[in-house]
């Protein structure tokens, strides 16, 4: 790293020389101690790249941990709520993990490199929680966040871009599978994963290859509508896809100042990742079983389809008696769906049993005045957008 930068408050990613050159607006975003591009040129166009061509996003700041040892698999299966006892080599699983009270620590992805070697990617610093949890497992856990450069390559033409780049037969890779490639003489792991709800891949390599990788990708995509994408556009596509974001849609147990703000998986739409029938014990199993059996889940995370076209950022949700029953955690006028969508946390039975007569109050800023909009909303699936091409095998080629 450049010596002048040792005084900088934030870390530069190994792609910084490239991303900063591509960024026409000098608009940056803090992410886990790194500075990454918020907007390269125009957020709308970067968003469109993901739904029309290919977007490339610097994923390096994502926390990454390597978990190695003969009991690594056993540990992972104990650490997360999902049953990973049958996880195959070269596959990826979306997971959440909880504390003993059954409250969510974070969500992320587990990569099974081989049966004794796993990688965990997540949004919150996890080294201490991993170590605390691994007591007695005799495994090696290391923080490799700064040792791996990562790019997210997403969109309908992404498979073609990556084939041009050198990823032979990539179209046959199934969703949540990964494969090692040697491209231009360096190793790249490519996984068919992403945070956009579209066809897409994530690329993982040694930081010394970062700039070469960036340049080759841009060249490979020059006829395939490739464009770097910043964090603002990512927020748009992830809401459309219905993905949840730590610190936005829920608060990690590691961060929650107020213990009442911690959430169980059932409260944030992650119940499908809790496998209570898993043979072995996992952290939080007892509490989650109790919660499930006693029906004590207090909240629910739902998708909202709101009338009108003014996004309901941070809006309060009401029942027909105008009682406060929840809050919008993320909102967007969806350019693809042409719908006013939101992710919302509601107090049950609203959103679970009672789905009618739900309203939001939107404070829409209009030149120094707020226009108060009382809008009806429909409870819908949180996965607002799920195009067929996302899971198609072989993947769509251009």
| C-beta closer to other proteins: residue 122 or 233 | 233
Compute the least distance from the CB of residue 266 to other proteins, in Å.
30
Nearer to other proteins (CB atom), residue 128 or residue 168: 168
CA distances from 61 to 16, 55, 146, 329 (A): 12, 17, 8, 23
Residue 355 φ/ψ, nearest 5 degrees: -115, -5
Helix (H) or strand (E) holding 38: strand 34-39
Q: Which is nearer to other proteins, 154 or 157 (CB)?
A: 157
CB of 245 to other proteins, least distance (A): 22
Residue 292 or 364 having the CB closest to other proteins: 364
Host H or E run for residue 72? helix 72-79
Q: Nearer to other proteins by C-beta: 16 or 339?
A: 339
Beta carbon of residue 264, minimum distance to other proteins (angstroms, whole number): 33
Query: Residue 175 has which token pair?
Result: 């969703």
Count the Cβ atoms, other than its own, within 10 Å of residue 195: 19
Rounded to whole angstroms, how far apart are CA atoms 111 and 45? 31
Compare residues 131 and 223 and give the one whose CB is closer to other proteins: 223
**Smallest separation, CB 226 to other proteins (Å):** 10
Residue 148 makes CB contacts below 8 A (sequence gap 6+) with 60, 64, 204, 205, 206, 207
What's the per-residue H, E or C state across 245-301?
CECCCEECCCCCCCHHHECCHHHCCCHHHCCCCCCCCCCCHHHHHHHHHHCCCCEEE
In whole angstroms, how close is the CB of 334 to other proteins at the nearest point?
8
Q: How far is CA 173 from CA 62, 153, 170, 178, 199, in A?
A: 23, 15, 5, 7, 11
Cβ proximity to other proteins, 42 vs 116, nearer residue:
42
Q: What is the smallest separation between the CB atom of 363 and other proteins, expressed in angstroms?
A: 17
State which residue, 338 or 372, has the beta carbon closest to other proteins: 338
179 CB-contact burial (10 Å; exposed 0-12 / middle 13-18 / buried 19+): middle
Concatenated DSSP letters for 343-369?
A: EEEEETTBTTTB-SSEEEEEEEEETTE
Q: Is the distance from CB of 166 to CB of 217 less than 8 angstroms?
A: no
Nearer to other proteins, 141 or 161 (CB): 161
Contact 109, 193 (CB under 8 A): yes
Q: For the chain, how big is the Rg over CA atoms in Å?
A: 21
Are 345 and 329 spatial neighbours (Cβ–Cβ below 8 Å)?
yes
For the CB of residue 189, give the shortest distance to other proteins in the complex, in Å. Answer: 26
Nearest-approach distance from CB 308 to other proteins, in angstroms: 8
- Our CB check for other proteins shows the closer of 146 and 396 to be 396
Q: How far is the CB of 15 from other proteins (least distance, A)?
A: 20
Residue with tokens 């605390």: 132
Nearer to other proteins, 133 or 164 (CB): 164
Closest contact distance (angstroms) between CB of 248 and other proteins is 22
User: Tokens standing for 8?
Assistant: 């900088």
111 touches 121 (CB < 8 A): yes
CA angle (115, 179, 181) in 5-degree steps: 125
Q: Measured from the CB of residue 43, what is the shortest distance to other proteins in angstroms? A: 10
Residues that bind other proteins (CB under 8 A): 25, 41-42, 44-45, 48, 51-53, 156-157, 160, 223-225, 307, 309, 333, 335-339, 385, 398
């Amino acid at each position: 790293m450049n010596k002048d930068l040792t005084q900088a408050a934030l870390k530069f990613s190994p792609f910084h020389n490239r991303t900063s050159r591509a960024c026409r607006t000098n608009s940056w975003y803090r992410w886990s101690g790194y500075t990454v591009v918020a907007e390269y040129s125009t957020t709308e166009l970067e968003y469109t790249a993901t739904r029309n061509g290919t977007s490339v996003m610097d994923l390096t700041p994502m926390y990454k941990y390597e978990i190695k040892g003969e009991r690594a698999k056993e540990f992972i299966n104990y650490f997360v709520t999902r049953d990973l006892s049958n996880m195959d080599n070269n596959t990826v699983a979306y997971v959440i993990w909880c504390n003993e009270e059954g409250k969510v620590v974070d969500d992320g992805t587990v990569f099974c490199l081989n049966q004794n070697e796993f990688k965990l990617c997540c949004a919150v610093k996890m080294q201490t929680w991993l170590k605390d949890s691994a007591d007695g497992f005799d495994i090696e856990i290391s923080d490799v966040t700064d040792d791996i450069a990562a790019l997210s390559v997403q969109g309908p033409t992404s498979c073609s871009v990556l084939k041009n780049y050198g990823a032979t037969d990539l179209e046959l890779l199934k969703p949540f599978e990964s494969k090692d490639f040697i491209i231009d003489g360096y190793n790249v792991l490519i996984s068919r994963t992403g945070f956009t709800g579209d066809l897409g891949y994530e690329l993982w390599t040694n930081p010394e290859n970062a700039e070469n990788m960036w340049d080759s990708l841009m060249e490979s995509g020059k006829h395939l509508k490739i464009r770097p994408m910043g964090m603002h556009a990512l927020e748009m596509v992830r809401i459309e896809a219905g993905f949840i974001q730590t610190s936005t849609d829920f608060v990690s147990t590691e961060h929650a100042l107020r213990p009442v703000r911690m959430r169980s998986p059932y409260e944030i739409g992650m119940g499908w990742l809790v496998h209570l029938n898993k043979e072995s014990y996992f952290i939080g199993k007892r509490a989650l079983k109790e919660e499930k059996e006693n029906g004590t889940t207090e909240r629910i995370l739902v998708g909202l389809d709101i009338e009108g076209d003014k996004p309901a950022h941070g809006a309060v949700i009401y029942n027909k008696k105008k009682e406060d029953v929840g809050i919008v955690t993320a909102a967007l006028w969806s350019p693809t769906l042409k719908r006013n969508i939101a992710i919302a946390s509601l107090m049950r039975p609203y959103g679970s049993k009672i789905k009618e007569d739900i309203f939001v109050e939107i404070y829409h800023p209009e030149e120094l005045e707020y226009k108060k909009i009382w809008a009806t909303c429909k409870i819908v699936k949180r996965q607002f957008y799920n195009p067929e091409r996302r899971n198609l095998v072989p993947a769509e080629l251009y």
